Amino acid sequence: MDVNRVKQILSSSANIEVKYHGASVWIDKLNEDGTTVTVNLRGPLDEQTTVPISDLVEG
């Protein structure tokens, strides 16, 4: 995924599925460095972590 697509997803009102290493995540914010995002893993733990944008896959 690229930074422009992350910005589109963040501004969209649609529920767009994004995966990080096979796990479904919710993008919380684009970090200031422009190469990472803060995500929440979807599920019971609701774990928050910072990951590289290049490791995200849509759908």
- Can you give the residue ranges of every domain in the chain? 3-58
For the chain, list the strands marked E by DSSP.
18-20, 23-30, 36-41, 48-52, 56-58
Q: Which CATH number fits domain 3-58: 1.10.3470, 3.40.50, 3.30.70, 2.30.30?
A: 2.30.30
**What number is the average pLDDT over the span 5-25?**
95
The pTM score is: 0.86
CA-nearest of 17, 34, 35 to 26 is 17
pLDDT tens, 21-46?
999 999 999 999 999 999 998 877 77
Share of the chain above pLDDT 70, in %: 100
What's the rounded mean pLDDT across residues 42-52? Answer: 85
* Tokens linked to 39: 């995500």
User: How far is the C-alpha of 3 from the C-alpha of 52, rounded, in Å?
Assistant: 10
